[in-house]
Chains A and B, each alone.
Chain A
Amino acid sequence: MSITEAPAGKSVGHSLRRKEDPRLITGRASYIDDIALPGMLYMAVVRSTEAHANVVSIDTSSALGRPGIKAVYTGADMSDLLAPLPMAWAPPGVEIKTPERWPLARGHVAHVGEAVAMVIGDDRYGVVDAAEHVAVEYEPLAVVVDVEQALEDEILVHESLGTNKAHEWTMGGGGDIEQALADSEVVVERRIVNHRTAGAAIEPRGVIAEYRAGGLTVWSSTQVPHLVRLFFAVQMGISEDKVRVIAPEVGGGFGGKLQIMAEETLCAWASKQLGRPVKWIETRSENMAVSHHGRDQVDYVRMGATRDGRITAFHANIIQDLGAYFGLLTPMIPELGAFVMTGCYKIPVVRTDITGVLTNKFFTDAIRGAGRPEMTHMLEVMIDQLAEELEMDAIELRRKNFIPAADFPYETPYGITYDSGNYEAALDRALEIVDLDAFRAEQASLRSQGILRGIGFSTYTEICGLAPSRAVGPSGFGLGIGLYESAIVRVHPTGSVTVYTGASPHGQGHETGFAQIVADRFGVDPAVVEVVHGDTAQGPMGLGTYGSRSLSIGGVACAHAAEKIAQKCREIVAHNLEANPEDIELRNGKFSLKGDPDQGMTLGEVAGCAYIDATNMPEGMELGLEQTLIYDPSNFVFPFGTHVCVVDVDAETGKVRVVRWVAVDDCGPAVNPMLIDGQVHGGVTHGIGQALYEQVVYDERGQLITGTFLDYALPTAEEIPSFETDRTETKSPSNSLGVKGIGEAGTIAATPAVVNAVIDALRHEGISYIDMPLTPMRVWQALEEARGRGDGPRATEQGVSLPPQGEGSAGSGPTRPEGGAA
């Protein structure tokens, strides 16, 4: 349970109640759809019903004649745009074939849901009615949805590119992979499908744009307001000083709102034409179709080892389904995972081959974890596969290959330097909580009663805190902009504080956590520190919230800015007490004299000198207490931990139930432990969702089968257990707070723990591996096959007929696991 106050100057480390919550629990928050402007019009989008087609004609006349309709626009009307929608990754030396993506189709559509026209009118319901009256004639083209079939280039998603293979990217380290595998005493291989999922924030996306007197204001449910502003300057030719982007209360993101949205441009452009504000609120069906998806890889993985369990080589050949176009980061996602290909282990020779492939589906991009869950899944599943092959305990195998705590900082074969780690400690703590001997006894006894219980481990590390600018920016990894974070700390004349951050939260609790960090540097109560975010007209340029980066970059920026002001405070106090600044320390909420704490000044008293009576300021010192700061760290951060999943499998129905979850995470020192637990709970639930329930499914014609929450199964309270969380604490040397990110860790850790647990429950049945999602149908079919009854007709939960074994793809319909009963 949270607390309401902490000792002055010592709030960090305490589970303070969130400052955000009062408005949220009373219905007083303003999300995008809660905002209404005078004269505001509504937009509805006409979307392609075809997965691949030429657009022959669009007849807008009937729609235009309907009551309240002000305009209907098509792609042809928007020829004045200066640039297509952006993809922001241009790695030096790598060719990427990028299909142009315009906000409205220009004669050709390549996925279901692609926008072909927009309808603007004065009534929310009226524009939807009118959109039904826009007649679009399509000339259907051949459709390719299977990623491996697309690679054959028989059907092209974009004729103009001449191929569906958009890019290839290879990273190798430590030597020749084929030689290393050939030299290995044991090699295990798997084809692992990491299927397509949705971000599925409960608040869909939404935009309001108002163009007035040469200036543009855009409210958008976004994770990246400053990037949206930057892009508007490029695309519409309005200089940045005249563009203001505001992220209001944002109802969850999970990467799905780390995007430059087509609809942002549509609203802004239409507002410019019509001289009135234009609002668009996404329906859930639109959200499932055209808010970017995640994952969707087919992975061919090989792991080599010695007989006594030393991993010698690891190779992943990743075929990434990119979809029909690129979002902001689409082709970069699997590469981000590759940076932690070796996970917690010393693996001497590694290689990652990535092939990005276009298909007639919506594009994939960053969803919670972004590349790292896929890579961690491969690695942690393969560790268990290897353990089975070696007839070795999977925990012993992990320990044997862990990077020892004494070896940090540790440079991986890819030249990435892990900042800090103590993997043994996290595993030990998890085992203490779990009591494995008791579990094995219970497992055996339950099995004799017909209950199949299993346990699965995932010992992960991941790369986050996305920065530093030199490493990731245009001349480094090739992102279109360096990643840093900004802060302004402003002490007011009475001693309260406003903090402006370039991070842009959507549930994480920055208003509380950042306030704790700043408050401690001034000895004040976090209640008097207000954190402002998400408005480009208020704060400095910032990069936003994603990649578990806010605390370790944005939070540290706030800390450094506050520390600079605190130093100025010490100088002012020293001047007033006729002492040395080095002799002034924060004690009991005052900047006081060492050894004589009664002599001192509160922040309010110091602010009085700086703003009200300048005669109390040291000679020549600038008035005011304010600091702007851009923080660019020296390295990424690498949180780690051990997650343990216990499942029960119902052999009669194939239903899997998670009955226990132990999570020991290490994200450095805690700013607010309650917020960490919340991130872990939600992150793991996201991973359990992918492992057991969630899947975006297209049929062979490219029609989206999972277009609503009726068909896309998010986990409910009933399916999720209570989590047993604990932490170890290993400081990061990458930043002065020693902190690491925690927003994605649970999601990254979770899926292999679930799969390993299910296999542990079924291994005695002769089942070694099943691809996610482990739906009742799949698990039951694997059991039927293992028990020699697998000849019946195959179907999926959605009734789509299945391809033959081992030929399914990641997102084109549920996949038969390779050797379901291997």
Chain B
Amino acid sequence: MGQTVPLQVIVNGESHESEVQARLLLVHYLRDELKLTGTHVGCDTSNCGACTCLVDGESVKSCTVLAVQCDGAQITTIEGMAGDDGALHPLQEGFWAHHGLQCGYCTPGMIMAAADLLARRTADGPISEEEVRKGLEGNLCRCTGYQNIVKAVQAAAEAQRGVTA
């Protein structure tokens, strides 16, 4: 089974210390060890982005990262996006209001990738459709045709800028 390695991470604000197989993928650590099953596996080759989560604030495809590479990191998954009071994150609200999901399988990854996209953005003003489409090209959706995902992300960006759509 291979050697085990100590791992210490903070996930959604909670500290975890584990002994894990060196080859354990981050996505399986999150899902199988921590039971955070909102992060999904879709393709195993980092094409679909269903497994996207944030590591130290940057989006990563967790099916292609070893858990041990994240030792000492702060990780955010879809389960950590809503507020402590259950209030939805503007992206979650946007996806709901704009029908940005159908089967929902790609949705956590989409939301995490979009969170990174919006966080990295330095430009002022509303985010353009083109910017969102380019920014999310690493995440695949087979249901929605992307249009309502784009709208959802634009609405979330506006909400974060304090503008009501």
Which A residues touch B41, using CB under 8 A?
Answer: 33, 204, 281
A38 contacts the other chain (CB 8 A): no
Q: A1-B97, A26-B82 are in contact. Are A201 and B145 (CB under 8 A)?
A: no
Which A residues touch B102, using CB under 8 A?
Answer: 252, 507-509, 678, 682
Contact code string B96-114 (vs A, CB < 8 Å = 1, else 0): 1111011111111001000
A718 contacts the other chain (CB 8 A): yes
Which A residues touch B44, using CB under 8 A?
Answer: 283-285, 708
A203 contacts the other chain (CB 8 A): yes
List residues 679-736 of chain A with CB under 8 A from any CB of chain B: 680-686, 708-710, 714, 716-718, 720, 722-723
Q: A17-B97, A34-B37, A507-B103 are in contact. Are A27 and B108 (CB under 8 A)?
A: yes
Question: Complex: how many Å from CA A30 to CA B105?
Answer: 10
| A250: contacting residue among B47, B103, B107, B132, CB under 8 A | B103
* A714 CB → nearest B CB, Å: 5
B45 contacts the other chain (CB 8 A): yes
Which B residues touch A124, using CB under 8 A?
Answer: 28, 32
* A228 CB → nearest B CB, Å: 19
Q: A28-B38, A251-B105 are in contact. Are A722 and B92 (CB under 8 A)?
A: no
Cross-chain contact A200 with B142 (CB below 8 angstroms): yes
Q: A20-B104, A25-B92 are in contact. Are A202 and B146 (CB under 8 A)?
A: no
Question: Complex: how many Å from CA A278 to CA B143?
Answer: 30
Cross-chain contact A252 with B144 (CB below 8 angstroms): no
**Number of B residues with CB within 8 Å of any CB on chain A:** 63
Which A residues touch B144, using CB under 8 A?
Answer: 678, 681-682, 685
Q: A24-B107, A284-B44 are in contact. Are A722 and B77 (CB under 8 A)?
A: no
Cross-chain contact B133 with A27 (CB below 8 angstroms): no
| B77: contacting residue among A18, A27, A68, CB under 8 A | A27
Cross-chain contact B103 with A204 (CB below 8 angstroms): no
Main secondary structure of the interface of A (DSSP, over half): loop
A321 contacts the other chain (CB 8 A): no
| A24: contacting residue among B104, B132, B148, CB under 8 A | B104
| A202: contacting residue among B103, B147, B148, CB under 8 A | B103
| B101: contacting residue among A15, A21, A126, A710, CB under 8 A | A21
Which A residues touch B136, using CB under 8 A?
Answer: 716-717
Shortest Cβ distance from A684 into B: residue: B145
Contact code string A91-135 (vs B, CB < 8 Å = 1, else 0): 000000000000000000000000000000001111000000000
Question: Complex: how many Å from CA A283 to CA B63?
Answer: 12
A26, A680, A684, most chain B CB atoms within 10 A: A26
Cross-chain contact B37 with A25 (CB below 8 angstroms): no
Q: A27-B36, A717-B132 are in contact. Are A681 and B148 (CB under 8 A)?
A: yes
* A366 CB → nearest B CB, Å: 16
* B19 CB → nearest A CB, Å: 15
In this complex, the interface size class of chain A, counting residues with CB under 8 Å from chain B, is 35 or more
Cross-chain contact B103 with A123 (CB below 8 angstroms): no
* A285 CB → nearest B CB, Å: 7
Shortest Cβ distance from A17 into B: residue: B96
List residues 451-491 of chain A with CB under 8 A from any CB of chain B: none
Question: Complex: how many Å from CA A681 to CA B98?
Answer: 13
| B146: contacting residue among A27, A200, A677, A685, CB under 8 A | A685
Question: Complex: how many Å from CA A507 to CA B48?
Answer: 18
Question: Complex: how many Å from CA A674 to CA B107?
Answer: 18
Cross-chain contact A708 with B95 (CB below 8 angstroms): no
| B143: contacting residue among A25, A126, A507, A709, CB under 8 A | A507
Cross-chain contact B145 with A723 (CB below 8 angstroms): yes
List residues 92-141 of chain B with CB under 8 A from any CB of chain A: 92, 95-99, 101-108, 111, 129, 132-134, 136-141
Question: Complex: how many Å from CA A674 to CA B141?
Answer: 18
Cross-chain contact A31 with B105 (CB below 8 angstroms): yes
B77, B105, B132, B142, most chain A CB atoms within 10 A: B142
Cross-chain contact B105 with A723 (CB below 8 angstroms): no
Shortest Cβ distance from B104 into A: residue: A24
Contact code string A640-681 (vs B, CB < 8 Å = 1, else 0): 000000000000000000000000000000000011011011
Cross-chain contact A33 with B37 (CB below 8 angstroms): yes
Which A residues touch B81, using CB under 8 A?
Answer: 26-27
Cross-chain contact A284 with B42 (CB below 8 angstroms): yes
Question: Complex: how many Å from CA A18 to CA B77?
Answer: 23
* B33 CB → nearest A CB, Å: 12
Cross-chain contact A717 with B149 (CB below 8 angstroms): yes
Question: Complex: how many Å from CA A136 to CA B151?
Answer: 52
A560 contacts the other chain (CB 8 A): no
| B134: contacting residue among A675, A678, A686, A718, CB under 8 A | A718
B50 contacts the other chain (CB 8 A): yes
Cross-chain contact B42 with A722 (CB below 8 angstroms): no
B38, B39, B105, B139, most chain A CB atoms within 10 A: B105
B150 contacts the other chain (CB 8 A): yes
A631 contacts the other chain (CB 8 A): no
Which A residues touch B139, using CB under 8 A?
Answer: 716-717
| A681: contacting residue among B32, B43, B145, CB under 8 A | B145
Question: Complex: how many Å from CA A18 to CA B88?
Answer: 15
Contact code string A493-529 (vs B, CB < 8 Å = 1, else 0): 0000000000000111100000000000000000000
* A716 CB → nearest B CB, Å: 4
| B1: contacting residue among A20, A67, A284, A675, CB under 8 A | A67
B56 contacts the other chain (CB 8 A): no
Cross-chain contact B147 with A25 (CB below 8 angstroms): no
Shortest Cβ distance from B50 into A: residue: A202
Cross-chain contact A720 with B104 (CB below 8 angstroms): no
Question: Complex: how many Å from CA A126 to CA B2?
Answer: 11
Question: Complex: how many Å from CA A203 to CA B103?
Answer: 9
Question: Complex: how many Å from CA A124 to CA B81?
Answer: 28
B78 contacts the other chain (CB 8 A): yes
Cross-chain contact A723 with B147 (CB below 8 angstroms): yes
Shortest Cβ distance from A26 into B: residue: B82
Shortest Cβ distance from A126 into B: residue: B1
B23 contacts the other chain (CB 8 A): yes
Cross-chain contact A708 with B96 (CB below 8 angstroms): no
Top-5 shortest CB links A-B: A27-B38, A251-B105, A507-B103, A681-B145, A24-B104
14 contacts between A and B (CB under 8 A): A18-B96, A22-B96, A24-B101, A201-B103, A202-B142, A203-B50, A204-B41, A249-B104, A678-B144, A678-B145, A683-B145, A716-B138, A720-B146, A723-B145
Q: Given A2-B99, A717-B150, A720-B147, output 19 extra A-B contacts at Cβ < 8 Å.
A: A24-B107, A25-B104, A25-B108, A27-B37, A27-B77, A33-B37, A68-B1, A201-B142, A202-B40, A251-B103, A509-B102, A678-B144, A680-B145, A681-B148, A708-B44, A717-B132, A717-B136, A717-B149, A720-B146
